[in-house]
Amino acid sequence: MSLYLQGTLPWLFDPDSPELGTLAREAAARTSATPCDPDALEADSALFTRLLRERHFGVATGRVALPEVTLPRAETWGELGALRDELRAALVDEHIRIFGAPRPSVADDGPAVEREVVAGVLVLRIRRLVGTPDDERLLTAWAAGADGDFAHDRIIVDLRGNSGGNDGHTHDWVSRRVRAVERFCTSAGWSVRGKPLGYWNAVAWRQAIYGLDGASLGLLSQRHDPQPDDVLELGVETHDLTAGDLPWAGRMLVLVDGRTRSSGESSAWLLRAGLGARLVGEPTFGMIEYGDIVQYALPRSGLVIALPTKSNDFGVPVESVGFPVDVPLDPATPVADVARRFDTFV
């Protein structure tokens, strides 16, 4: 399959490749029982090792060592679950995903964002921070509607089961209300001429699945334009939270559980640090020390793997551990019960 651009940095998808469109849609629908070609996997084994060495951020930057890796002669994608788990443990990276390998069910049917008022408390259910074009429209509208939300003096943000995506939506929602926080997070990441490396593949993958409208304006605006003389740049940045111009004097609870992961976790930590929210529930999953996850594919076998293009340091170990909570609570507790007892948690 011809999947990648030629004459520029390696591992950049070719958005005009018809094979990419076919593969992306097929990979998105894979299950553990979906057949794969053992001969093709064996033929792709050396390329798989090269991909990990060049495009897993932790390996390529010397943060972690890559163990010896061999693709198994699997007949279904589900058989690659053991390899995926070995890589996660060795590289201390819970984000690693091989499409079709078994994964716990984190889906929560329903819109990405829902709001209601219960016992005088605004309740926001944020199921995911990325998704279909409809999800993206809801998330954009949520951030744009911050003035109405922060007119309430008591807010619950329910992030239980949130599998992550783009915490930029959360930053946009709170930006005018946060208090100043120094060194909220330190990140290291790859860029090309000042733009994140990962956005090129992210846009190409989403458009291959959903069409040209599948990528948000934010992704499109941050995507670099590949050129023959491009150089992969490594940058380190300390992220401070700058005090907003509309400080909020209200109180907030953020509900989390062991299924809250990735940008769901960083969103919870942002609300705690920036607004003084109380985290209620159980420790989060622990999938946040890497970020800006990007899909890559191997041409013979069609194996698709998601790898990070940046690292995050919140000052404490989080990967495979999770962020702690301020108030332990059974994660199955209905949000309406929490709303009615709001004042007992703060």
Beta carbons of 124 and 104 less than 8 angstroms apart: no
Rounded CA separation 93/309 (Å): 12
Rounded CA separation 195/283 (Å): 33
pLDDT tens-place string over residues 29-71: 999 999 999 999 999 999 999 999 999 999 999 999 999 999 9
Mapped onto helix, strand or coil, the DSSP state of residue 28 is helix
The pLDDT value given to residue 105: 65
pLDDT at 346 over 60: yes
Q: Which amino acid is at 129?
A: L
Rounded CA separation 11/16 (Å): 15
pLDDT tens-place string over residues 239-267: 999 999 999 999 999 999 999 999 999 99
The pLDDT value given to residue 109: 79
What domains can you pick out in the chain, each with its CATH number? 18-344 (3.90.226.10)
